[in-house]
Amino acid sequence: MAKSLRSKWKRKMRTEKRKKNAPKELVRLKRILGADGSGDISMNDVKEVATVVPSEKLKQNPAKGADDNTSMDIDKKRNKKSLLNEHGQYPLWMHPRQRKKLKRQLKRGKSRHRKRLA
């Protein structure tokens, strides 16, 4: 889709805007990161907002992040195939249409499996 003259014009203007704003964004990024030498933001300010992990630690354990001992309990209680939890509830983010489709697929899979066994 998206082949109309209006959408083409919008895309063209967005690229023009990106070109125009790119130098300003670069200056702003450098200022934020302190790469321009002004040093407005120090590492202590960043540590207050986020946890800073040394790159050596990340290279040693690429799969694990800063919090090694914490894990999501939600994944353990939810069935991976049906996405149902122990109470038979679907996740909140799941759309009702998607739930209905998944129910149909699971039901169809069970009935086919029973026919093969019989």
Residue for token pair 């994944």: 75
Average pLDDT, stretch 18-39? 80
Q: Let me know: does 90 contact 83? Beta carbons within 8 Å.
A: yes
Q: Which pLDDT score, from 0 to 100, does residue 15 have? A: 95
pLDDT band at 63 (very low <50, low <70, confident <90, very high): low
Rounded Cα distance, 41 and 46, in Å: 8
Average pLDDT, stretch 92-113? 88
N- to C-terminal Cα separation, the chain: 48
Q: Which pLDDT score, from 0 to 100, does residue 57 have? A: 80
